[in-house]
């Protein structure tokens, strides 16, 4: 990559600076639904039966069990069973649309309705780039990735654990991560879910950055709680859910399902299980704080029944997502699901095919919050630097797609036909001159030129061009403005809490 031409780098730098960033995308096309009324009734009835007959376990928190019991659920040990319709009734207080506020108000996003938000991958312990290969991620990687997402216009969110900064002790990571999101990006971000005190710290840091009263009254954090399918919510996730619900912050309940292992080996059965888990968990959120924002999430990866490995970019993955969106709409909940997932270890064609299939499925399903839209490699064990910028380009394409076709009089361009004879060309037509800059979407990461030009420029594969783009973006990065007092207060908070936490360690 050292031989990148100066010309190309300048072009790429301009493209990066010129990227138009709307805070979120408004879908203007219909939904792709794969489930008809009869099938909806079947799945809803099956979910009700699962909750009634088998129930769900909420582990390690007697208060939760008491709360369920007080409101009429049937509690036996840690198992909670629900009469048909009970959960659906409790969920009614959850808002169907809400705002997650960013530190920069121009970056605040709508969650739900026709809005689509594209967000980074969550959770990988490894990073990969073409020059250094695969390795454990560090805080520097976390910061670099946050810098990239700050600049990529098609990414509407700074995400959460964009990689695990493994050079930071586990009990301190949430402080460094929230600090990075708040200072290096001004888009909204996600809260820690690994322990209740970490959730509290994240909320406190938002209060410093955005004002305590504001945070009390508004959603500034969006946090994902995974059930342990089938039909369990463990202590860690339960406490994080409680902490954010009490604070009026958004909790997404996203059953993590490796299909065939953690659910029966079919889309229809997995749908019923997912619906059951989401209904029981969102009902709990509403018991804790009626009206607290929540969302219906899915993470579904069918396992290969030859090897047991999770698979991505599959037909069933998208089918489940499209059906679940319909079920979420019927509950009046925003829908959260996965974007550009791939099992590939490297930014190769497999990564391209699989990520595009998942992302296009999510866009067409009308997913409101598309997580893992950028950077995924190795089924979320790795975030790829190159993959981030490659995926972001495809996010931009999907965003253009879901905005539908312009049928206005100007777009019909009937006057151009009078101007150009049969067999002629439209390059010089007035309509073309007036519209060419914005008429068609143009990607930053695709090479569309001739073979000869491509060969002369070094015959770079897409991942090579992506390496150059990553470097340029990191070089060009400028931190978003922040009040000096706030910056200092955040640093003080992180330093103080770090000392306290380190003092608590055995």
CB of 445 to its own copies, least distance (A): 7
User: Token match 């200092």: residue?
Assistant: 488
Q: Distance (Å, rounded) from C-alpha 64 to C-alpha 53?
A: 20
Dihedral, CA atoms, 439, 443, 444, 446, nearest 10 degrees?
A: -130
Q: Distance (Å, rounded) from C-alpha 297 to C-alpha 70?
A: 27
- CA 341 to the chain's CA centroid: 11
CB of 199 to its own copies, least distance (A): 24
Cβ nearer to its own copies, comparing 195 with 420: 420
Q: Which two tokens stand for residue 494?
A: 């992180």
Q: Which stretches of 248-325 are assigned E, i.e. beta strand?
A: 250-253, 256-259, 294-297, 299-302
Cβ nearer to its own copies, comparing 27 with 207: 27
Cβ nearer to its own copies, comparing 456 with 479: 456
Contact 181/165 with Cβ under 8 angstroms?
Answer: no
CB of 331 to its own copies, least distance (A): 19
Contact 387/377 with Cβ under 8 angstroms?
Answer: yes
CB of 133 to its own copies, least distance (A): 10
Cβ nearer to its own copies, comparing 81 with 179: 81
- CA 374-157-286 angle, to 5 degrees, is 115
Dmax (CA) of the chain: 83
Cβ nearer to its own copies, comparing 163 with 357: 357
CB count, 10 Å around CB of 202?
Answer: 30
Q: Distance (Å, rounded) from C-alpha 270 to C-alpha 283?
A: 20
Cβ nearer to its own copies, comparing 268 with 486: 268
**Eight-class DSSP state of 53:** I
Q: Distance (Å, rounded) from C-alpha 120 to C-alpha 371?
A: 6
Element (H, E) at 112: strand 109-112
Contact 267/323 with Cβ under 8 angstroms?
Answer: yes
Closest among 381, 436, 486 to 136, alpha carbons compared: 381
Cβ nearer to its own copies, comparing 75 with 210: 75
Cβ nearer to its own copies, comparing 59 with 471: 59
Cβ nearer to its own copies, comparing 95 with 310: 310
Q: Distance (Å, rounded) from C-alpha 324 to C-alpha 22?
A: 27
Element (H, E) at 136: strand 133-136
């Amino acid at each position: 990559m050292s031989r990148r031409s100066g010309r190309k780098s300048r072009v790429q730098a301009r493209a990066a600076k010129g990227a138009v960033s709307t805070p979120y995308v408004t879908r203007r096309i219909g939904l792709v639904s794969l489930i008809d009324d009869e099938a909806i009734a079947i799945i809803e009835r099956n979910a009700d039966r699962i909750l009634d007959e088998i129930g769900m376990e909420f582990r390690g928190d007697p208060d939760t069990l008491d709360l369920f019991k007080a409101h009429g659920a049937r509690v036996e040990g840690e198992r909670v069973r629900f009469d048909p319709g009970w959960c659906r009734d409790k969920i009614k207080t959850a808002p169907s649309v809400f705002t997650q506020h960013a530190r920069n108000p121009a970056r605040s996003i709508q969650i739900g309705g026709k809005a689509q938000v594209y967000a980074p991958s969550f959770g990988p312990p490894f990073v990969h780039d073409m020059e250094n290969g695969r390795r454990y991620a560090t805080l520097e990687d976390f910061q670099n990735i946050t810098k990239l997402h700050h600049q990529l216009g098609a990414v509407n969110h700074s995400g959460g654990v964009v990689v695990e900064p493994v050079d930071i002790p586990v009990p301190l990571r949430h402080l460094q991560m929230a600090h990075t999101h708040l200072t290096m990006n001004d888009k909204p971000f996600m809260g820690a879910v690994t322990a209740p005190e970490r959730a509290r710290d994240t909320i406190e840091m938002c209060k410093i950055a955005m004002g305590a009263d504001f945070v009390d009254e508004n959603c500034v954090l969006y946090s994902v709680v995974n059930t342990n399918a089938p039909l369990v919510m463990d202590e860690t996730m339960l406490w994080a859910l409680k902490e954010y619900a009490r604070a009026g912050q958004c909790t997404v309940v996203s059953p993590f399902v490796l299909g065939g292992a953690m659910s029966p080996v079919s889309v229809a059965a997995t749908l019923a299980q997912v619906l059951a888990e989401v209904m029981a968990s969102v009902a709990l959120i509403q018991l804790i704080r009626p009206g607290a924002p929540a969302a219906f999430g899915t993470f579904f990866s069918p396992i290969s029944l030859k090897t047991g490995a999770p698979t991505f970019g599959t037909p069933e993955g998208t089918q489940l997502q499209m059906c679940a969106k319909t079920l979420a709409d019927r509950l009046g909940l925003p829908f959260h699901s996965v974007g550009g997932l791939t099992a590939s270890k490297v930014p190769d064609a497999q990564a391209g095919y699989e990520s595009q299939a998942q992302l296009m499925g999510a866009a067409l399903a009308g997913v409101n919050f598309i997580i893992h839209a950028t950077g995924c490699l190795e089924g979320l064990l790795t975030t790829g630097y190159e993959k981030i910028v490659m995926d972001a380009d495809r996010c931009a394409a999907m965003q253009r797609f879901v905005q539908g076709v312009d049928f206005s009089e100007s777009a019909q361009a009937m006057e151009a036909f009078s101007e150009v004879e049969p067999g002629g060309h439209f390059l010089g037509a007035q309509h073309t001159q007036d519209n060419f800059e914005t008429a068609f979407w143009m990607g930053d990461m695709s090479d569309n030129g001739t073979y000869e030009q491509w060969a002369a420029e070094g015959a770079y594969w897409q991942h090579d061009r992506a390496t150059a783009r990553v470097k340029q973006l990191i070089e060009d990065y400028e931190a978003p403005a922040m009040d000096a007092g706030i910056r200092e207060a955040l640093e003080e908070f992180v330093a103080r809490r770090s000392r306290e936490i380190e003092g608590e360690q055995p």
